[in-house]
A and B are shown apart, each in its own frame.
Chain A
Amino acid sequence: MKMTPEYLKAQENMHAGIISSSGFLGSDSRLISDIISNDEELVQALGMNFTEITNRLKFFMEKALNGFGNPVTVDEVWEVFSEEARGVIPCPFEDGSFKKINIYVKKKGSKDSIVFSDLGIHLIEKHHFFQGRDAFFRLDPEKIKKILF
């Protein structure tokens, strides 16, 4: 996949300290076009699609927000809670700003857990970007399948 001017600007914005303290790339030195195409292949190989992934993330976000920061049990299987902070955070692709909402999902009775943000859902839905390797908010497609479905 080609690094368009939009991707070049986004990659610049994703470095630590530009939009968030830790950035969106983690230890990943790949171009975001490569990260995106690798994850697109992975999603396909896992038999999932982007719509069902983002719908699932939105489902857990809605449940968590009902708890106003307190844990909420979902279908007796998951424990979720939300964290909100003042202000908004811009998308590194410069196509919108999102409330600072983080969602924590834990599968009850296991150590498996996942954290994602409102912006993270947008990055997957609109840009197929799950974030770089080791990034704090990276949503690994395999982990999503294992924990959220």
Chain B
Amino acid sequence: MDILTFIVAPMVLSLLSGALAFIIVLVDSLVNNYPDFTIDINNGRKKLTAKGGSSLLVTLSSQGIFIPSACGGKASCGACKVKIESDVGVILPTELPYLSEEEKKDNIRLACQIKLKNNIRLSIPEDLLYVKQFDATVESITDLTYDIKQIKLKLLSPDSIDFKAGQYVQLIIPPYGQIPEKTQRAYSMSNTPSDNQHAELLIRLVPGGLLTTYVHKFMQVNEKVVFTGPFGDFFLRDTKAEMICVAGGSGMAPIKSIIYDMYEKKNFDRSIWYFFGAKSARDLFYLDELKELERLMPSFHFIPALSNPDPADNWKGETGLITNILDKYLKTVIKASSPKEAYLCGSPGMIDATVKVLNVNGIASEKIYYDKFA
């Protein structure tokens, strides 16, 4: 009885477990042993060969093609949309929340949800073929307000980045604390393209945010980070139109980059009206720098506004919701006759309300460019 219990039974169990593991490995290698497949991008513009089995998003990034993704492939951001030109099977339930009816008809899919099981043809914006992955080191971390930090990244490899003022990068941070995986999120660059050896980002702490918590509580000067970029079509249009810029919080980043880029290029022909909304004085930053820029660049007008100033702020500037201040200026200060275009960066609610104000004041939606936090 004892021999059976303590020697024979465990041996039988071990043999059975071993046999089962062998069968699992064998079946896995037969069923999931994908051959190499071809990925044709933009009608032959670029052709890749890759082993099947992984998601299209991961496969592309492993070959140096970086599709924007804020969630890193968990189907929770809907950013990694690509147009598929060949059959990859039906749309998955995980993709449905992110695709409009029009996108479904156009065969737009989430790259993170498509598994490479056949040769595949797809189309992506041409700009994405030039997106690179950068290794960088954290050069400085500066508190701009109680909840916004400016982090300045020094590029290591490649050691410079070509971008348009207003574009963004995807910052990737390592696993930390209880966070088991890498996390990536999109942030606009606030430096100008002339400073092409740095990426300067403004990051507001989001309660519970995976990446922002890391940046605010764990990130150290001199640590190594990785990012991809540049991405996005929020940049200055080459026209003579008067510019209306509206931002709040960390939405300052791309607008700052655009305006300082204009200053550096001595682009003084266009009037710029920059409305920056905040709750109270403790939410304001770059105030002195932008006031100084106003002095150096007569075409630039900076209008910070506080919606709820603290009596101790001793605030002498504009008070009220930024949309109301904008409306007032459009009706009474800014000449109605000149052609205008608008550049907005902030929360979806602020942008929607700002677009309404601009429309009411005669600025057509097609002349309004924005970077929505959505």
Contacts and interface: CB of A to CB of B under 8 A. Distances in A.
Given A67-B307, A68-B350, A69-B350, A136 B208 contact: yes
Given A69-B248, A71-B307, A17 B322 contact: no
Task: Sort A-B residue pairs by CB-CB distance and give the 9 closest, nearest first.
Answer: A70-B307, A84-B347, A17-B178, A17-B179, A68-B350, A20-B208, A86-B373, A90-B76, A21-B213
Given A68-B349, A86-B186, A87-B185, A20 B210 contact: yes
B321 A70 contact: yes
Interface in A81-106: 81-90, 96-97, 99-100, 102
Contacts of B328: none
Nearest to A119: B208
B373 A97 contact: no
A17 B208 CA distance: 9
Contact of A71 (B75, B308, B322, B348): B308
B78 interface: yes
Pick the most buried of A16, A69, A90, A100: most chain B CB atoms within 10 A of its CB.
A69
A67 B249 CA distance: 14
Contacts of A22: 208, 213
A65 interface: yes
A111 B320 CA distance: 25
B125 interface: no
A74 B292 CA distance: 39
Nearest to A82: B349
Given A15-B178, A97-B77, A137-B208, 10 more contacts: A16-B178, A17-B177, A17-B210, A20-B210, A21-B179, A68-B277, A82-B347, A85-B206, A87-B70, A115-B207
Report the contact-size class of chain A (Cβ under 8 Å from the partner).
20 to 34
A68 B97 contact: no
B346 interface: yes
A87 B80 CA distance: 12
Interface string B182-214: 000110000000000000000010111110111
B353 interface: yes
B299 to A, nearest CB: 27
A14 B179 CA distance: 12
17 contacts: A17-B210, A21-B177, A23-B178, A65-B349, A68-B346, A68-B350, A69-B350, A70-B279, A71-B308, A82-B347, A84-B347, A84-B348, A87-B70, A87-B71, A97-B76, A102-B206, A137-B208
Nearest to B354: A68
Contacts of B98: 97
Contacts of A16: 177-179
B374 A86 contact: yes
B133 interface: no
Contacts of B89: none
A21 B208 contact: yes
A16 B180 CA distance: 10
A88 B78 contact: yes
A97 B1 CA distance: 58
Given A84-B347, A88-B78, A67 B209 contact: no
Contacts of B177: 16-17, 21
Contact of A84 (B75, B185, B308, B373): B373
B74 A90 contact: yes
Given A82-B349, A88-B77, A99-B348, A70 B308 contact: yes
Contacts of B353: 68
Nearest to B76: A90
Contacts of A90: 74-76
